[in-house]
Structure 1
Amino acid sequence: MIDTNELIRRNAGFAEGGSFAGLRLAPSGSLTVIGCVDPRVDPSAVLGLELGEAGVIRNVGGRVTPATLRTLGMLAKVVQARTGGPGPADNHYVVLQHTDCGITDLPPFPELLAEYFEVPAEDLAAKAVTDPFAAVRLDVELLKRHLRAGVFVSGLVYDVATGLVDVVVPPARVAA
């Protein structure tokens, strides 16, 4: 087990490096990644991102849920409060899901999934819980309906066996 003392020791090494100095609240890469909490799929490591390049939202399955949409809405308000505007027009939102995801083990618990997606249990089949490629396509379309026009949205699936990412939905601008 990694205990608090170990975390403090590691943090001291991080602080000594000073890589956090001068970072802004807004990601320098105008990138937000929605990914899974699975420890094998740290979006920063998988995508080679540096500290400060991207905002990362992680949840079970890396899914775009109503809670994810609320989080994105709050982040948009933070940007508006800090900048007085909607943020860069070239913002890019990436849905990153992966193979061998634990969410694929949850169909025997429809009440849990229904609560997570905030849908009736009879609508769960439409959420493609057992297929990350279909789920990415669904979630990208959901994002497009909720994000402002002009930003980019794409969808990726990370293969935990090979370490490679497949582009499932190439980047496209959200239409007006």
Structure 2
Amino acid sequence: MTDAGTGSPSVAPGFDDLLEANRKYSETEFSTGGFDGIAHAGVAIVTCMDSRIDPLRLVGLQPGDAKIFRNPGGRVTAAALEALVLGVHLLNVKRILVVPHTRCAMASNSEAELRERVGASAGQDASWQQFNVVTDQRAALLADVRAVRTHPLVPESVAVGGFLYDVDSGLLQQLA
């Protein structure tokens, strides 16, 4: 979307309620101004984008304590590994939690089902879109933990654990 007069990107409508909530947050709750950006508790968490997950609070942390990387399924992708390497070497990360969750759409749908659902919603063919579904959540978690533990730029001194978060009980189960 661009402004016809200038060719510059125009401001998208539909965000007024969120901007107003942000103004209130800034005035009443915001407390991390001037923060140095390191993980004060030495923790990084890779988890799913699912809105039922509050990655900091589920392990008793606060803003500024951890680095958080979220994606569909909570997978350790190339981008997640990039973030973890930076976290370990530049941002005080000493412990890494990989945390997929129960009842995840990425683990309960096939690639074909997700393409069909997205295509129906979009009103166009989505057969070309890859969604990286998880056919075996436990095996995927173990492979993801292994990928972090064996990465040449993640020292052995960094603790790496694999956990399954139960969205119905709020509990973590350590699997690796």
Runs of 4+ in 1 over 6 A off after TM superposition: none
For the residue of structure 2 that corresponds to 1:98, the secondary structure is coil
* Structure number with bigger Rg: 2
Instruction: Kindly provide the CA deviation profile for residues 96-134 of structure 1, in whole angstroms up to 9, marking residues without a partner as x.
Output: 110111112134369725xx5xxxxxxxxxxx9233333
- Match status 1:137 vs 2:142: yes
CA distance 1:47–1:75, shift in 2 (3 Å): closer
Which ranges of structure 1 fall in alignment gaps of 5 or more residues? 80-86, 117-127, 170-176
Contact map agreement 1:44 1:50 (CA 8 A) in 2: yes
Higher helix content, 1 or 2: 1
For the residue of structure 1 that corresponds to 2:175, the secondary structure is strand
Match of 1:40 among 52, 70, 74: 52
Using structure 1 for the length normalisation, give the TM-score. Answer: 0.70
The percentage of aligned residue pairs carrying the same residue is 30
- Match status 1:157 vs 2:164: yes
Higher strand content, 1 or 2: 1
Q: Partner residue of 1:173?
A: none
Which ranges of structure 2 fall in alignment gaps of 5 or more residues? 1-13, 116-126
Aligned length: 145
- Where does 1:11-160 land on structure 2 (aligned, <5 Å)? 11-16=22-27, 17-75=29-87, 79=90, 88=92, 91-104=94-107, 105-108=109-112, 112-113=130-131, 129-146=134-151, 147-160=154-167
Deviates more, 1:157-166 or 1:28-37: 157-166
For the residue of structure 2 that corresponds to 1:41, the secondary structure is coil
Offset of 1:167 from its aligned partner? 1.3
Task: Find the aligned partners of 2:157 and 2:85 in 1 and give their Cα distance.
Answer: 16
For the residue of structure 2 that corresponds to 1:94, the secondary structure is strand
Task: Find the aligned partners of 1:132 and 1:23 in 2 and give their Cα distance.
Answer: 36
For the residue of structure 2 that corresponds to 1:43, the secondary structure is coil
Match of 2:20 among 9, 12, 19: 9
Using structure 2 for the length normalisation, give the TM-score. Answer: 0.70
Task: Find the aligned partners of 2:72 and 2:96 in 1 and give their Cα distance.
Answer: 18
Task: Find the aligned partners of 1:21 and 1:166 in 2 and give their Cα distance.
Answer: 34
CA distance 1:154–1:23, shift in 2 (3 Å): same
Offset of 1:168 from its aligned partner? 1.3
